Homo-oligomer: A and B are copies of this chain.
Amino acid sequence: MQTKLALALIAALAASSAFAAAKEQRVTKSAAEVLKDSPNADWRALDPENTLLMNLPQGQVVIELAPRFAPKLTANIRALARASYFDGLAVIRVQENYVTQWGDPDEDDAKARPVPDGIKGAKEFSIPLKGLPLNKLHETDGWAPLNGFVDGFPVAADPKAGRAWLAHCYSTVGVARGNEPDSGNGSGLYVAIGQSPRALENNIAAVGRVIKGMELLGSLPRGTGNLGFYEKPEQRTAITSIKLAADLPEAERPKLQVLRTDSKTWGELLEARRHRSGWYIKSPERTDLCSGTVPTRPTP
């Protein structure tokens, strides 16, 4: 069967150059080779002011905030974390093939935890496309006329409307909102855990992405209530704390780097994802916005 070996090859997106040449396919480095050969300058440190650490009993989730796309809401989230707002709250909802959501289980009740002064809702669904350093992906996916990456985040855009927005890919973090477009204030957050829910774009604010620990939020038991809400309080996962890295001593901050999406390595990685050989008998000759996760690595 050789399944283990074969799947090793699948996952590494492996391309044996010799084999590729023999088949007269395009010779391209594998994704693993591209990353191994990448210069340190193609990686960047995390900005502690934009790094959210969500501590769960299962482990730590690291979220990178994208203030460029939601300046008010990311400022709210920073302020909420600094006020220890999330500590002791919970994951309240896990809906299969959709979202994991956390915040105040009592938010709609009299028992709701008050948010600090100055935290107001905001409608930050898109920003001007003009001037945005969009590293364009030549593949479109039908959900937007233009797409690519900015600062390590997947971004979709509509040149006619002159707008751009953080795409709702697997692992994108957004701000839950009520019926009013500006009702989300950052006190309730969610992450996409299944097929990328692109229909949400321009309807809700995306504020960042999970760059580590996504497996913790994706493997929680699904809630059995309507929309995946947990029916009993004891089914919820408690949030030990959500802290901003900037508020922690340097030694307690995550030692992670993110690949720069304006780097040569990123371009090569996309090429490796497009052109596959070895185990692959038919190279897809394609990638897309939500398949192309931006890698992180431990700081060397």
- State how many copies of this chain the complex holds: 2
Q: Mark A244-266, 1 if CB is under 8 A from B, else 0.
A: 00000000000000000000000
Indicate if the CB atoms of B2 and A183 lie closer than 8 Å: yes
Residues of B within 8 A of A276 (CB): 199
Say whether, besides A10-B200, A95-B11, A282-B202, A177 and B3 are in contact (CB < 8 Å).
Answer: yes
For chain A residues 140-196, which have a beta carbon within 8 Å of chain B?
A: 140-143, 169-171, 176-181, 183-185, 187-188, 194-196
Residues of B within 8 A of A198 (CB): 284, 288, 291
A220 and B221 CA atoms in complex are apart in Å by: 8
Indicate if the CB atoms of B101 and A7 lie closer than 8 Å: yes
Residues of B within 8 A of A221 (CB): 215, 219
A60 and B293 CA atoms in complex are apart in Å by: 32
Residues of B within 8 A of A5 (CB): 108, 178-179
Q: Is A1 an interface residue (CB 8 A)?
A: yes
Give the residue name and chain of the B residue nearest to A280 (CB). Answer: B203
Indicate if the CB atoms of B229 and A4 lie closer than 8 Å: yes
A188 and B214 CA atoms in complex are apart in Å by: 26
Say whether, besides A188-B1, A198-B291, A142 and B143 are in contact (CB < 8 Å).
Answer: no
A203 and B278 CA atoms in complex are apart in Å by: 11
A280 and B177 CA atoms in complex are apart in Å by: 11
| A111 nearest CB across to chain B (Å) | 13
Residues of B within 8 A of A62 (CB): none
Residues of B within 8 A of A180 (CB): 2
Q: Is A231 an interface residue (CB 8 A)?
A: no
Give the residue name and chain of the B residue nearest to A225 (CB). Answer: B4
A103 and B202 CA atoms in complex are apart in Å by: 42
Q: Is A22 an interface residue (CB 8 A)?
A: no
- Interface set of A (CB-CB < 8 Å, partner B): 1-11, 93-98, 101, 103, 107-108, 112, 139-143, 169-171, 176-181, 183-185, 187-188, 194-203, 214-215, 218-222, 226-229, 273, 276, 279-282, 284, 286-288, 290-291, 293
A-B complex: 10 closest residue pairs judged by Cβ atoms: A2-B178, A199-B284, A215-B222, A96-B215, A202-B282, A6-B178, A3-B176, A170-B195, A11-B227, A3-B188
The contact sample of 14 A-B pairs, CB cut-off 8 A, is A1-B112, A1-B188, A2-B178, A3-B188, A6-B177, A142-B142, A142-B288, A169-B195, A181-B281, A199-B273, A199-B280, A202-B281, A215-B222, A218-B222
